[in-house]
Amino acid sequence: MLLKLFFSFLKIGAFTIGGAYAMIPLIRKEVCETHNWISDEEFMDGLAAAQSCPGPIAVNISIYVGYHIAKGKGMAVAVLGTIIPSITIIMLVAMLFNNYADADLVKKAFHALRPAVVALIAVPLVQMARRAGVNIRNLWYPLLSAVLVGVLLISPMYLISATIVFAVWQGLRAKQA
C-alpha cells in the first residue's frame, strides 16, 4: 500500500513538467480513479486547501492525500515521491549547467529563454485574476501590491502578514455583527 502510494507520486513527480497545475489532474486520476483511495469530493476539498496554504501546491496536495490514505507514513511517502525526481534531475542539470554555462550555444539558448519566461509568467495572469475573483472594486489591491513589490521592492512578507491580520479581523467582525 505505502509502496504503491510512493510509486504513484514518484511517477507523477517524474513525468509532469510545468509545476502544480500540470500535476493536479494526474494526481486526481491516480488517487481517485485508478486506486480509489479517496473520493472526488475529498480531493477537491484538499485541492482548495493546498492552493490556499503556503508552499508548493503539488507538495501540499501530496501531504493531504498521503495523510488521508495512511496518516503520517502516507504523508511522508507521498511527499518523498513528489520531490525525489525533482531533486535528482535538478541536481544533474545544475552540475551540467555549471560546466556548460559559458558555452556559446547555451548562452544563445538562454538569450531566447529569458523573454520566453516573461511571457510564461504573463499568460496565466489573467486567468488567475479571474479565479481569484478580481473585479473593478478590488482591483486596486493587486495593482497596489504589484507596484509596492515590483517597483518599490518591498518584501511580499509584509504585505502577506498585513493581509492575514486584516482578513482575520474583518472575518471576526463580520461574525459578531
Size of the residue set binding another protein (CB under 8 A): 97
Cell numbers 503556503 correspond to: 54
CB of 138 to another protein, least distance (A): 6
In the region spanning residues 44 to 73, those forming contacts with another protein, defined by CB under 8 A, are: 45-46, 49-60, 63-64, 67-68
CB of 1 to another protein, least distance (A): 19
3 interacts with another protein by CB under 8 A: no
Q: Which three cell numbers stand for residue 168?
A: 482575520
87 interacts with another protein by CB under 8 A: yes
Which residue of 15, 25, 33, 39 would you call a contact of another protein, by CB under 8 A? 15
- Of the CA atoms within 13 Å of residue 67, those in its CB half-sphere come to 10
Which residue of 8, 16, 27, 77 would you call a contact of another protein, by CB under 8 A? 16
- 174's enclosing H/E stretch is helix 156-176
CB of 146 to another protein, least distance (A): 4
In the region spanning residues 96 to 135, those forming contacts with another protein, defined by CB under 8 A, are: 97-98, 105, 107-125, 128-129, 131-134
CB of 135 to another protein, least distance (A): 10
Judged by beta carbon, residue 3 or residue 17, the one nearer another protein is 17
Between CA 148 and CA 61 the distance in angstroms is 31
CB-CB neighbours of 110 under 10 Å: 13
Those residues with Cβ within 8 angstroms of residue 138's Cβ, 6 or more apart along the chain or in another chain: none
